[in-house]
Structure 1
């Protein structure tokens, strides 16, 4: 491009104009998510990227120079979340995969994303979205993860926390392999700097110590199986335990679960179930059968092959038989519902793009699995709207449709409290006052597909 600065300036002006004008989304039914009621026949007035009123159509006061978006009886809700994502990394300054992922989320009604494997290239991506030069969801970024491979001492771990806070990351991600002294200094420093942290539970740390020392989110509901085992020493033998201790699930002592549930409540932990990761990555369906499912057309052939290669060794080792897998998946559903019904808050998460989980599309598979586990439609939607805002202590600022909140919402054909399938095909998406109709979303999907022609 000959004049990149001019191009960015034009984009900024265009976005500013789009936000500055008054928009009225009329003839819609509103699910605000403040409760489970539907406000029928409403209009939503948006100005400067904010909701300025939600009123019945009979009370709409027309104003000059406002843009009308006709809802035609659509249902409007605050949209979904992907609160465990692996945002692509920009390679040598090439941001194509990052930009594609942002559109894949938007096209599926996913308006807020928490990155859980950080990279320096994610910070300018977030800046571009916030400046309005790139369409995308609301991003919350974890820095590079803390693990046995990245942490070498307590002192180095503490400095790593300070560096990530200073760089502008929103969250810390912990991976396995941390020693107890390393973990404790990470927790202490993070609390001093007021940056939330969470992730996997290191075997040398364990679930109880993770809860007691400030984990904000337990990713994948990790650590619960291990904490329920009568003989914890077995978790250190990967051949015996299997991935995520899958092969020991038949040995769990369920009498220990009430104590863990109460600890989870007492320490105000959140859970990120990522049900679809376990259903697809560690499920009994053969890896090869995922190669040509519809959403794979939005990923490169190399990426899909990498995912197949990641699952195949478990299949060849005889681990992913239905006899091994089904009891484990059943236990995870029971664990989710036990925690949820006790009041432990749930975040909508699918771990995309990760093995066979395509950004945006995988959230709908996650929703199906949450429903199959027993969560109500309202509670599922809450996990992707109200709950993410609460997690980052920004309640009422977004994730809800009401006066003063950011204009982030999705239009769908049917009532999502009755029909979760309707979430898969948004009629339109509004993000901070910028509106993308179905034609625009389909155009962007077609571009991404063409980028990865087999």
Structure 2
């Protein structure tokens, strides 16, 4: 598994170092309009708890700027003059989703992808109802990008960003780890990203300094560190369930209930959360259906260079698709583990690791919901992980994750009840991100432009090139 962890780290780095250029295409025209106030009228508001959800019928939700100011019965709420009214009759309004392990492309490359790619990624998140992204691999331009989105200069989700990663190549000593923590805190990054390769002493130096600097660290669990040490040192989230099956030596054999209970108790004892990324990891370890992956409609939205890399991965048996039996055992363990963590009360926060192998930004949310639901987690629990739980994680930075007064106006208007059907999120009438409304027509037009661009061949792309 250590080889696999190194590989996914390499895939992530190559995907973003080799595949992107500065992005300056026209944003959707709504991004430069004057701020408006909105009223969603006669809508069913979706209220989500960890183990259940409820629908409040016939509600009016008022939005002023980027804030929800009123939520109440339509019969009792008067829509002020000048508000743009959106009729929510027979529709459902829920909080926007958070992508807790997402990526934002860098702003420089070897010219292999179109200039528009960065803005296309941002838009695909929002178009699919993902209104907040915790970016988990920092590049220098991203802090300015975050500010540009906040100021309305670009259309995109609210970003919370990890800096450049702590890994075996970037850190060569405990002293370097300490220095890098302070540098990233002072530069304004929101958290530190842990990748494989850190030694125990380097990791502990990073963790000690981060605690003193009041900055979170999250991500992978380096092999020399192990799950128990990572939890003890205060790693805020364990992403990809990294280190869990290794801790009980159950990568290639079924885990027992006793072992799963141990992992649940260990996580609860230290107060960490997990970001499972189940759908993506099934692809990485070789547990996905190859032909089904090839038929994903959303892969038309990524450029040819990206698609080629993904298809090449499926053709290279040494990279993952070499032992179907072992992959099936590991995936079953992961599904049983995430269900045990959920049932045991461990905080789960939603993430898909997009853009990554067949994990297309925004579209990947529905894939992840389906896999989590297959594990036996109720829809309310999954939606809670993508809304309320994410808002609680970032409670020191802003108020969001619920359809409630004072919360950031991140909203998704749906045609079906998301508590009843995992596919309901595909039926969006529109998305509001920080008070900016994108109706379905605007979304569809922009997505079609992205799809058309994705299907064009890149004149500069040479499959044999590696950076």
TM-score (normalised: structure 1): 0.88
Query: Does structure 2 retain, via aligned residues, the 8 Å contact 1:41–1:73?
Result: no
Query: Does structure 1 retain, via aligned residues, the 8 Å contact 2:101–2:275?
Result: yes
- Could you say what the CA RMSD is over the residues aligned between the two structures, in angstroms? 2.3
Count of residues in correspondence between the two structures: 425
Aligned partner of residue 32 in structure 1, secondary structure: strand
Query: Does structure 1 retain, via aligned residues, the 8 Å contact 2:38–2:63?
Result: yes
Alignment correspondent of 1:23: 38
**Counterpart among 227, 236, 243 of residue 207 in structure 1:** 227
Instruction: Quote the offset at 1:58 in angstroms.
Output: 1.0
Instruction: Quote the offset at 1:280 in angstroms.
Output: 2.2
Instruction: Quote the offset at 1:333 in angstroms.
Output: 0.7
| Structure 1 residue 249 corresponds to structure 2 residue 266 | no
Aligned partner of residue 428 in structure 2, secondary structure: coil
Query: Does structure 2 retain, via aligned residues, the 8 Å contact 1:228–1:254?
Result: no
Q: 1:397, 1:69 → 2: CA distance? A: 23
Alignment correspondent of 2:129: 109
Q: 1:165, 1:88 → 2: CA distance? A: 21
Aligned partner of residue 378 in structure 1, secondary structure: helix
Q: 1:211, 1:408 → 2: CA distance? A: 32
Q: 2:311, 2:74 → 1: CA distance? A: 52
Superposed counterparts of 1:181-200, under 5 Å: 181-200=201-220
Query: Deviation per CA, 1:113-165, whole angstroms, max 9, x where unpaired?
Result: 11111111221211111011111111111111111111111111111111111
Query: Does structure 1 retain, via aligned residues, the 8 Å contact 2:253–2:330?
Result: yes
Alignment correspondent of 1:319: 322
Instruction: Quote the offset at 1:97 in angstroms.
Output: 1.7
Instruction: Quote the offset at 1:431 in angstroms.
Output: 1.2
Query: Deviation per CA, 1:172-221, whole angstroms, max 9, x where unpaired?
Result: 11111111100000000111111111111111111111110011100111
Instruction: Quote the offset at 1:301 in angstroms.
Output: 1.2
Alignment correspondent of 2:414: 412
Q: 2:303, 2:380 → 1: CA distance? A: 35
Instruction: Quote the offset at 1:452 in angstroms.
Output: 1.6
Q: 2:259, 2:294 → 1: CA distance? A: 40
Query: Deviation per CA, 1:30-86, whole angstroms, max 9, x where unpaired?
Result: 013367221101111111221111111111224222221122321000021211112
| Structure 1 residue 279 corresponds to structure 2 residue 271 | no
Q: 1:60, 1:276 → 2: CA distance? A: 42
TM-score (normalised: structure 2): 0.86
Query: Does structure 1 retain, via aligned residues, the 8 Å contact 2:285–2:321?
Result: no
| Structure 1 residue 52 corresponds to structure 2 residue 56 | no
- Greater share of helix residues, 1 or 2? 1
| Unaligned segments of structure 1, at least 5 residues | 1-6, 230-244
Alignment correspondent of 1:348: 350
Query: Deviation per CA, 1:12-43, whole angstroms, max 9, x where unpaired?
Result: 8x45x32xx43211121001336722110111
Alignment correspondent of 1:242: none
Instruction: Quote the offset at 1:412 in angstroms.
Output: 0.3
Instruction: Quote the offset at 1:87 in angstroms.
Output: 1.4
Query: Deviation per CA, 1:291-324, whole angstroms, max 9, x where unpaired?
Result: 4531011111111111223343336876242x22
Superposed counterparts of 1:62-211, under 5 Å: 62-91=79-108, 96-211=116-231
In structure 2, the CA distance between the partners of 1:287 and 1:124, relative to structure 1 (3 Å rule), is: farther
Q: 1:73, 1:184 → 2: CA distance? A: 54
In structure 2, the CA distance between the partners of 1:11 and 1:396, relative to structure 1 (3 Å rule), is: closer
